[in-house]
Amino acid sequence: MRASHQKIRVRFKKTVSPTYDIRISPGLFGDLPPDIASIVGDARVFVITDANVKRLYGRQLMTGLLNAKVDAWLIDFPAGEASKNSGVVNSLHTQLLEHGVRRNSLILALGGGVVGDVAGYVAATILRGIKYIQVPTTLLAQVDSSVGGKVGIDHPLGKNLIGAFHQPEAVYIDPLVLRTLPEREFRSGLAEIVKIATALDESFFNYLEKNAGKIKQRSLRVLTELITRSVQLKAAVVGRDELETGLRKVLNLGHTIGHAVEAASNYTLRHGEAVAIGLAAESGIARDMGLLSALDYERLLRLMRALRLRTSFPGIRSKEKLRRALSTDKKSIGASMKFVLLNGIGCTLVGVDVPSPFINALVKTR
């Protein structure tokens, strides 16, 4: 007798994750311990950080948490992109399991984008997913990577190829911690801010132009404004397209070439440095394709120069390296190369087919 087939449909009540708050305020870092205490109760908190941030802020946070009677453990790994791998994730899984992680435990990701991506991925995968909070400490992480729930690690075949969408419970942003950030890291974060403004909001772009001097001096007032506006813009996009099926792709402006340049530099460039180069190069393509006016192109390059962002890199002269790197980029499909391109300042098009002569021309002339 043939068994009759049943159709069982799995229905999800929600297609998006619950909402969460992003708090931004100078001095917020000091408020963390009592806040965390009230969120977790008796549950164990695992603070995951890198070796640098542990020294600068990790120990201080642990003292605060223990004083607030939070059951907290601190785990660190070596700083830098090289730690975004399965070996580090495996070691973190082991340490969490050995220290009694439970479904109600909380991970607190304290650090830059690397810590946020790795600790968030560990939170997404351990025991099929536990809660985590982002406490970003680099400008790049504060304006970009801590918001939106993209977590993951690199693979020998490419960057960020292994990962998940796992939204944090909350994000705590304290611009005061940027005081200790090295200049190169600071500029790397500025590149993502310029990307967000250029992609989405001309009035924010105007603000950056007017305040370039104060930005370079790291004026706390101006930095807080930059972070707030960047996060508002990113959160609005992510809220409408959590899983990057459409609109969210605008945030990849500068990243198709940027990721390729980052790989071609063997990751000697900071992520934001590569994004700045990618943004300039892709804007050159948009101008050559008649999508972006020469005036807007010049305006963007002027702002980038005013903020001391590098806009060219000898590595992209190597056609072969660039092509190879582009072909492993997640955003390219087969032979047709899709780009996110500017159609004006604050106006972005996604999924633009770029014929190879435009890419070749860029490689030849820069």
Catalytic residues: 128, 150, 192, 234, 244, 248, 252, 255, 259, 271
Specify whether the CB–CB gap between 158 and 330 falls below 8 A: yes
Q: Which of 58, 64, 113, 254 binds ligand NAD (CB under 6 A)?
A: 113
Question: Is residue 115 involved in binding ligand NAD (CB under 6 A)?
Answer: yes
> Six-digit token pair at 77?
């790994």
Interaxial angle between packed helices 271-288 and 294-306, expressed in degrees from 0 to 180 and rounded to the nearest 10: 160
* Distance of closest approach, residue 221 Cβ to ligand NAD, in angstroms: 19
Report CA-CA distances (Å) from 239 to 22, 234, 242.
Answer: 13, 8, 6
Look-up of token digits 């250029």 = 198
* Distance of closest approach, residue 241 Cβ to ligand NAD, in angstroms: 13
Using CB under 6 A as the binding rule, the residues of this chain from 66 to 95 that contact ligand NAD are: 79-81, 84
Give the C-alpha separation, 103 to 350, whole Å. 39
Report CA-CA distances (Å) from 268 to 82, 143, 162, 315, 352.
Answer: 11, 22, 21, 11, 29
Interaction mask 124-163, ligand NAD, x per CB under 6 A? -------------xx-xx--xx--x-x---------x---
* Distance of closest approach, residue 21 Cβ to ligand NAD, in angstroms: 18
* Distance of closest approach, residue 180 Cβ to ligand NAD, in angstroms: 4
The neighbour count for residue 187, using CB atoms within 10 Å, is 21
- From the list 196, 122, 135, the residue with the least C-alpha distance to 166 is 122
* Distance of closest approach, residue 242 Cβ to ligand NAD, in angstroms: 12
Closer residue to ligand NAD (CB): 80 or 239: 80
* Distance of closest approach, residue 154 Cβ to ligand NAD, in angstroms: 7
Specify whether the CB–CB gap between 151 and 163 falls below 8 A: yes
Closer residue to ligand NAD (CB): 292 or 350: 350
Using CB under 6 A as the binding rule, the residues of this chain from 261 to 320 that contact ligand NAD are: 270-271
Longest dimension (CA), the chain: 80
Q: Site size for ligand NAD, by CB under 6 A?
A: 30
The neighbour count for residue 2, using CB atoms within 10 Å, is 4
Q: Which of 112, 168, 254, 278 binds ligand NAD (CB under 6 A)?
A: 112
- From the list 307, 248, 252, the residue with the least C-alpha distance to 279 is 252
Specify whether the CB–CB gap between 131 and 142 falls below 8 A: no
Closer residue to ligand NAD (CB): 114 or 363: 114
Closer residue to ligand NAD (CB): 177 or 342: 177
Q: Which of 33, 64, 111, 284 binds ligand NAD (CB under 6 A)?
A: 111
Closer residue to ligand NAD (CB): 81 or 288: 81
Look-up of token digits 């924010």 = 204
* Distance of closest approach, residue 191 Cβ to ligand NAD, in angstroms: 10
Reduced to 3 states, what is the DSSP secondary structure of residue 132? Answer: strand
What are the phi and psi torsion angles at 71 (to 5°)? -80, 90
Closer residue to ligand NAD (CB): 9 or 179: 179
Burial of 185 (0-12, 13-18, 19+ CB in 10 A): buried
> Six-digit token pair at 337?
């190369």
- From the list 112, 167, 116, 163, the residue with the least C-alpha distance to 140 is 112
Interface region with ligand NAD, contact rule CB under 6 A, candidates 6-14, 110-118, 201-209, 312-320: 110-118
Using CB under 6 A as the binding rule, the residues of this chain from 27 to 66 that contact ligand NAD are: 50, 52-53, 56
Using CB under 6 A as the binding rule, the residues of this chain from 172 to 211 that contact ligand NAD are: 177, 180-181, 185, 188
**Interacting residues with ligand NAD (CB under 6 A):** 50, 52-53, 56, 79-81, 84, 111-115, 117, 137-138, 140-141, 144-145, 148, 150, 160, 177, 180-181, 185, 188, 270-271
